[in-house]
């Protein structure tokens, strides 16, 4: 018995995005594992990372120069007796016991400031003769010395669970002595391409056939977003075949389908999902490319039905599916953020849909420009090869002049 699909729900881009975000907050990652520090790059932290001691652990000099008592430099130039030299790595025994009035100690960046000194004068403002240094510039108490714990006191959280490890996080973890970290397991993401015209990439396609590129672009997007892709066989546009493969896909943490969600007679994906008792949160969004995008849940698993045209598949993954994948990977939710750039040339579009068109961003420093990659519709993979971003065109305007600011999503 074929269950009747629910009536279509076409949402604005923003509402559709918020719907995905709302559901993403409901999911939890599947488990944790321990990985070595460098292997944690790109992974999502399942533990906190805290300062294991004060940062810095001692009164640290920030400059090469002389440790002084600031009050000694009230009248310039001032000449002080040099009573020692403190290198980075110097232990307490190497440090002069105390800097008394009229005295200074040579000091290097990263070395502990000696007792009595309350500032460091940069070497550039000093000259040394015999054991005396002449200083030509005054300092304020505290200058060029970082106090213990001022960056982070012992115990302060530095990274929270749910953050993604990048090079800065790796550096932080290293600085608190962590050689391994607990991260969330990567969610398993099933990828199911559908269509009678689709053939495996190793096969020689007939003139009427198309190679299955979507399973591969999606697998790459999944991996980049922190998931473990599992490419299933290509589903024919036939109920029983789709049923078997969707059943298999619903065993994973998330199911991504490509194709079969438009209005055609053989677009059966929604109908077959309904047979699994699927709830549909939306069955379309006011965007181009990607308007027929579907988001729902069946048997406790979320799924996205992504339109089969290759650019539609890629864009709708980035705009919607990625947020759910990141949540399943344990990442704290983050809103979709746009950059802004000036249009290099004027641009005309039809109104009514928010567009995410393949664009090329170029220029440097504050003169970043973007132009259309010149596409021939949602199936134009060649345009994707010429592009490095998507230009976001609001739904209500038809004409944009050169030099206008537009929003951009980087790829």
Spatial contact of 261 and 235, defined as CB atoms under 8 Å apart: no
What's the distance, CA 1 to chain centroid? 44
Among 310, 330, 358, 359, binds ligand AMP (CB under 6 A): 310
Kindly state whether residue 258 participates in binding ligand AMP, applying the rule CB under 6 A: yes
Token pair 């065109």 is found at 393
Q: Candidates 136-144, 182-190, 305-313, 401-409 — which segment interacts with ligand AMP by CB under 6 A?
A: 305-313
- Based on the shown chain and the rule CB under 6 A, indicate whether residue 260 belongs to the binding site for ligand AMP: yes
The option from ligand AMP, Mg ion, none interacting with 262 (CB < 5 to 8 A, set by class) reads: ligand AMP
The burial of 216, by beta-carbon neighbours within 10 Å (0-12 exposed, 13-18 middle, 19 or more buried), is given as middle
Structure tokens at 369: 């420009």
213 is a contact residue toward ligand AMP (CB under 6 A): yes
Please choose which of Mg ion, ligand AMP, none residue 193 contacts, taking the beta carbon within 5 to 8 angstroms, the exact cut-off set by kind.
ligand AMP
Residue 288 engages ligand AMP in binding (rule: CB under 6 A): no
State the minimum distance, in angstroms, from the CB of residue 213 to ligand AMP.
Answer: 4
Spatial neighbors of 22 by CB under 8 A, at least 6 apart, are none
Q: Are 409 and 392 in contact (CB under 8 A)?
A: yes
CB of 378 to ligand AMP, least distance (A): 8
Q: Under the criterion CB under 6 A, does residue 212 sit at the interface with ligand AMP? A: yes
Q: Are 314 and 385 in contact (CB under 8 A)?
A: no
For residue 156, how many other CB atoms are within 10 A of its CB?
Answer: 12
The rounded distance, in Å, linking the Cα atoms of 289 and 230 is 25
Question: Does residue 210 bind ligand AMP (CB under 6 A)?
Answer: yes
Which of 29, 229, 259, 284 touches Mg ion (CB under 5 A)?
A: 259
The distance of closest approach from Cβ of residue 262 to ligand AMP in the complex, given in angstroms and rounded to an integer, is 4
Residues touching Mg ion, count (CB under 5 A): 4
d(CA 280, CA 302): 10
- Residue 97 corresponds to which tokens in the numbers above? 């016991």
| Residue 305 within binding range of ligand AMP, rule CB under 6 A | no
Gap between the Cα atoms of 185 and 193, Å rounded? 25
Among 47, 163, 233, 262, binds ligand AMP (CB under 6 A): 262
Which residues in this chain contact Mg ion in the complex, by CB under 5 A?
195, 259-260, 308
Which residues in this chain contact ligand AMP in the complex, by CB under 6 A?
193, 195, 198, 210, 212-215, 258-260, 262, 307-310, 379
């Amino acid at each position: 018995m074929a269950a009747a699909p629910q009536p279509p729900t076409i949402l604005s881009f923003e509402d559709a995005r918020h719907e995905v975000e709302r559901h993403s907050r409901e999911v939890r990652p599947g488990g944790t594992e321990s990985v070595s520090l460098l292997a944690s790059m790109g992974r999502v932290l399942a533990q906190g990372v805290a300062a294991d001691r004060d940062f810095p652990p001692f009164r640290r000099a920030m400059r090469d120069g002389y440790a002084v008592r600031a009050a000694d430099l009230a009248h310039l130039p001032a000449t002080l007796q040099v009573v020692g030299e403190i290198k980075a790595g110097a232990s307490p025994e190497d440090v002069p016991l105390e800097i008394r009035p009229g005295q200074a100690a040579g000091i290097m960046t990263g070395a502990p400031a000696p007792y009595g000194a309350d500032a460091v004068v940069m070497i550039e403002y000093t000259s040394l003769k015999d054991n005396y240094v002449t200083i030509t510039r005054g300092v304020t108490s505290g200058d060029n010395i970082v106090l213990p714990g001022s960056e982070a006191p012992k115990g302060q959280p530095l990274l929270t669970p749910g953050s993604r490890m990048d090079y800065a996080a790796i550096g932080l973890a290293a600085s608190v002595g962590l050689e391994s970290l607990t991260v969330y397991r990567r969610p398993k993401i099933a990828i199911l391409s559908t269509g009678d015209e689709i053939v495996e990439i190793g096969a020689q396609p007939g003139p009427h056939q198309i190679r299955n590129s979507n399973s591969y672009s999606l697998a790459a997007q999944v991996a980049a977003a922190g998931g473990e892709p599992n490419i299933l066989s290509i589903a024919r546009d036939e109920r029983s075949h789709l049923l078997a493969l969707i059943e298999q896909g619903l065993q994973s943490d998330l199911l991504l389908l490509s194709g079969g969600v438009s209005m055609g007679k053989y677009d059966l994906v929604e109908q077959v999902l309904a047979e699994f008792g699927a709830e549909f949160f939306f069955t379309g969004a006011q965007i181009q490319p990607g308007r027929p995008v579907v988001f729902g849940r069946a048997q406790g698993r979320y799924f996205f039905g992504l339109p089969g045209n290759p650019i539609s598949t890629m864009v709708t993954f980035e705009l919607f599916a990625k947020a759910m994948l990141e949540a399943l990977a344990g990442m704290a939710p983050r809103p979709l953020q746009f950059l802004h750039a000036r249009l290099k040339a004027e641009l005309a579009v039809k109104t009514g849909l928010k567009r995410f068109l393949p664009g090329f961003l170029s220029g440097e420093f504050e003169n970043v420009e973007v132009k259309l990659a010149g596409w021939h519709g949602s199936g134009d993979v060649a345009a994707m090869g010429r592009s490095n971003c998507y230009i976001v065109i609001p739904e209500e305007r038809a004409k944009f002049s050169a030099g206008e600011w537009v929003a951009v999503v980087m790829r």
